[in-house]
Structure 1
């Protein structure tokens, strides 16, 4: 006998509560738009390029600290990172541990010198700095190309994150459901959007999210981005601090959650088929996220669907695409199985006679059947025998997070914009505290999510908004979900606006003005900037119509790729007078080539899923960084010294002698 649990994992909120969540969230979006309008007013009275892309280099402590922190705390921090904690357990705390010292390394290593060099040259973008430091247009163009390459990938991931969050918030609102149904009817006639025909709600949220972010970024420029980053920074840390006690209350405390996790075993990935005893006159749809219980007592088996299933009218069974079955999860932990069996009475009458058959079942390669795997290293992993975080990889990530932040062009731009040294010192302290208030609580919250919300492994990128809904409904305050969901939404927006602005500046400043039309008027530059910003947003949105499954994989790829490309050239150009443009270009391309090659090999070996090939079990960032440093130093020593005038300009006071 099979029984179906309530279709959504969580009970739907009452209409009043859902509307209250929408109202609170709408107020937040309205505040963002007001800040963009105020920024545009200020933009009219200042030099367009310097103000639009750098805020006239006048950021104070709070603005500098929070725009740096908010830009770094992307959708990966609130979507991808919780997904990893949920999937792999406590070991992810070690994986992210070094992030607390990112501001010390990023700001302390580069900030003062980057700011000095940028002011000396009047640079507005990082390619500007590199081009002027070596007087090499080719090097500047190469840097521009790499920024655009990686940032576009990251934008796609951020668009997905923002849309998933918005979809979770709006899912219970009748008006949204009606709009989604209407969109579903027209999607088949729009080829460029037809990829999302099976998920019109996601596409609708993607369109709304794109419009909001692109408009306020294009209209307000860098200062609007900074001002919204400050507001979003407070929203992010406030959301996390508020969710922490709610999560602990929901699971009975941290000790109870850890004890429960110690008993858990990883689920099995399954392919399912559904059937009915008698064929029906109309098609029967079985929604994604539906729970099925097969058997009873100690022999009960519990499954959760990861995709929609359809039994076509006149037929008795379905197996999904190409007869491979419907993907899903089978629970293996007795505590979760018993809980779902007890809740198996809530099922629609239309699905009473539906039975489930397991076509294929695959265990985790690491941790299958092992209690304690979620509370010890290396953590469970569905496809790696070594587990999630073996020792060598832990070392790699410790250095990757510490130094990759320093190598991000989006962070370097912020280093060009602070006002003075006192601002820098205070900002380093502020950002370190800020990160501690976000990442440590997130590990605890989403370990609690493993206890509270089983079966989300196939859609773990949704666990943050789902946890917000679950915890607020437990205390009978579902309207609060709007405020909690604003935290990850703010993280995505604060990163996306920065990336949009960086790509726009790369195209307008580094490609058009510096290479195509050096004498372009400010009016022309302004118009082109608006057009490019909107166009880049539209392109990234179209790419996100069919996004990658795991957001964090893309974010780690782009973040580590930018760092292996930029960290060595930027650090050496600031502190090594002998460094020349030959070594800088070779180091940049060497790091880029090594990193991309290892990811290409890993992706091929993983069957198309974005994955890293770990040479000697080290992450591509470590291998790429070593390659970049080695190549840069060797090529520099084998090629002529840089011109004396450049050495004097950047390493002597006032360009004079010692």
Structure 2
């Protein structure tokens, strides 16, 4: 427990009040389901880039990744490199095409809705199954954020873990419920800036000497901490371990909460600026996150009074050791920012799948925009309660939960989305096969272990999903002419929108 005092408590209250104010302001500008789920496509490059980064990295950037660096040393750079490359590739190859094509397909609001309209799926089977996988995997993703929130409040305020998770859940739901996409994006921009600042300030302030001294001290503990080729036990990393860490970058192409930022950006030109901002932010955030784990290891090793700790709490421990309570309160609020920035986006995308892709398509096709928005808000509450139930185990790992959900989205939607944006011959049956095969592969592969099954499940998931799409599309009838005409219109719009 970090020593509780008035300064830290007051800082948290002020921070939460600011987020609630932004949520209320966004609520006043939210008039229909398009505003609630996609912000009326009004995001500029800064909120688009920073909200995408903040909602992407989440609490694991300040808990999971520093914890991995704390335990594995420079080996964690493989994971950071994979995510950096994935960020750049997603903004470079998916952003402009998805924004343009989603407008061409009658202003699609959600990823399942886009895939359904892209292939003129009158049965709505693609939309329904895609929405199902979104709900399943986002429950694990959101629960990871709630676990991070529980660890934060338990460590800072000494709360019982169960009570801490409930408090964190209430914080996230409060402004997501009312403000919708604009509240989520604007708060994410603020939170993204706070996260990156904290990740640089904390380790640089805690360093005793320069980077050379840090390297010397780490080598004195274990020289294997400084190599990317060996584990901390001195054994060479297997190709499975290296490929698995790099493969995290493949998951970006299928993350609905990140892809929504592409759709919501004002213009295609803004996406170019946003890409530069997003990549720069990711470089700084990754560097700081790994450095937190390494510098934190030195502090824990040098101060026996700290004792054995959960590696995912190293950021909080480091803040408490180095900073005055007022500054510590601000920096610890960065963890809350990271948690809220992702959990809010996940709840919003899940509720949009529930309202737009299930309720409106299967239950009440003539539902008004206001009714769909109301169902979406109710969905935020219901889904958060389910995620809360999943998060109640204090032994839950943020990185483990995130890795499972990340792989699920990457395999289920990544191949289907990218091929739909680039391949005219792809048809509805191919999309359906890819989503189902990708999602099921993740669930099944996760249960297997030993040998090749130790590879990160996203790799076989993407390979099998891509194969299923190509084989099924070529083995079945070509898309109808209206779908081909729509693809040609999209290609023309790519030039016109620029």
Q: Would you call these one fold, judging by a TM-score over 0.5?
A: yes
Shift of 1:456: 6.5
Distance across 2 between alignment mates of 1:406 and 1:548: 30
CA deviation map 1:278-316 (0-9, x unaligned): xxxxxxxxxxxxxxxxxxxxxxxxxxxxxxxxxxxxxxx
CA deviation map 1:171-227 (0-9, x unaligned): 3xxxxxxxx5xxxxxxxxxxxxxxxxxxxx222222221112111100111000011
In the alignment, structure 1 residue 255 sits paired with structure 2 residue 106: no
Shift of 1:113: 1.4
Partner of 1:113: 97
Q: Is the 8 A contact 1:377 1:390 kept in 2?
A: no
In the alignment, structure 1 residue 74 sits paired with structure 2 residue 63: no
* Counterpart among 460, 472, 492 of residue 623 in structure 1: 460
Q: TM-score, normalised by structure 2?
A: 0.92
Q: Is the 8 A contact 1:169 1:482 kept in 2?
A: no
- The structure in which a higher percent of residues are helix is 2
CA deviation map 1:345-381 (0-9, x unaligned): xxxxxxxxxxxxxxxxxxxxxxxxxx42222244546
Shift of 1:419: 0.9
SS in structure 2 of the partner of residue 577 of structure 1: coil
Distance across 2 between alignment mates of 1:643 and 1:655: 19
Partner of 1:89: 73
Partner of 2:147: 160
Shift of 1:73: 1.4
CA deviation map 1:582-601 (0-9, x unaligned): 11111222222222221111
CA deviation map 1:535-586 (0-9, x unaligned): 1112211221225432101111110221011111111111111101111111
Partner of 2:108: 123
* Counterpart among 242, 264, 272 of residue 201 in structure 2: 242
Partner of 2:119: 134
* Counterpart among 440, 452, 476 of residue 593 in structure 1: 440
Partner of 2:383: 536
Distance across 1 between alignment mates of 2:188 and 2:316: 21
Structure 1 unmatched ranges of 5 or more: 1-7, 172-179, 181-200, 265-370, 603-612
Name which of structure 1's ranges 524-533 and 435-444 shifts more when overlaid on structure 2. Answer: 524-533
SS in structure 1 of the partner of residue 74 of structure 2: coil
Matched ranges for 1:485-524 at <5 A: 485-524=332-371
SS in structure 2 of the partner of residue 502 of structure 1: helix
Distance across 2 between alignment mates of 1:654 and 1:79: 42
Matched ranges for 1:203-242 at <5 A: 203-242=162-201
Q: Is the 8 A contact 2:100 2:490 kept in 1?
A: no
* Counterpart among 38, 41, 64 of residue 28 in structure 2: 41
Distance across 1 between alignment mates of 2:114 and 2:89: 20
Higher normalized contact order (CA 8 Å, seq sep 6+, divided by chain length): 2
Q: Is the 8 A contact 2:140 2:390 kept in 1?
A: no
SS in structure 1 of the partner of residue 254 of structure 2: coil
Partner of 1:639: 476
Distance across 1 between alignment mates of 2:239 and 2:228: 9
Q: TM-score, normalised by structure 1?
A: 0.71
Q: Is the 8 A contact 2:149 2:168 kept in 1?
A: yes
Distance across 1 between alignment mates of 2:415 and 2:307: 40
Q: 1:595 to 1:242 in 2, by over 3 A?
A: same
Q: 1:594 to 1:205 in 2, by over 3 A?
A: same
Q: 1:654 to 1:154 in 2, by over 3 A?
A: closer
Partner of 1:461: 312
Shift of 1:491: 0.9
Distance across 2 between alignment mates of 1:77 and 1:228: 17
* Counterpart among 622, 642, 649 of residue 486 in structure 2: 649
Shift of 1:614: 5.7
Distance across 2 between alignment mates of 1:84 and 1:407: 24
> What is the aligned-residue RMSD (CA, Å)?
2.2
In the alignment, structure 1 residue 55 sits paired with structure 2 residue 39: yes
Partner of 2:138: 151
Shift of 1:490: 0.8
Distance across 1 between alignment mates of 2:401 and 2:13: 29
Q: 1:232 to 1:653 in 2, by over 3 A?
A: closer
Shift of 1:413: 1.2
* Counterpart among 402, 406, 412 of residue 249 in structure 2: 402
Shift of 1:130: 0.8
Partner of 1:433: 280
Q: Is the 8 A contact 1:157 1:548 kept in 2?
A: no
Q: Is the 8 A contact 2:430 2:471 kept in 1?
A: yes
Partner of 1:581: 428
Q: Is the 8 A contact 1:456 1:463 kept in 2?
A: no
SS in structure 1 of the partner of residue 224 of structure 2: coil
Distance across 2 between alignment mates of 1:646 and 1:468: 55
Distance across 1 between alignment mates of 2:490 and 2:225: 56
- The structure in which a higher percent of residues are strand is 1
Structure 2 unmatched ranges of 5 or more: none
Shift of 1:401: 3.0
Q: 1:655 to 1:238 in 2, by over 3 A?
A: closer
Residues matched between the structures, number:
487
SS in structure 2 of the partner of residue 520 of structure 1: coil
CA deviation map 1:433-463 (0-9, x unaligned): 1111111122122111111114776622222
Partner of 1:479: 326
Distance across 1 between alignment mates of 2:381 and 2:490: 42
Task: Report the structure number with the largest CA radius of gyration.
Answer: 1
CA deviation map 1:212-255 (0-9, x unaligned): 21111001110000110111111111111211222213xx4432
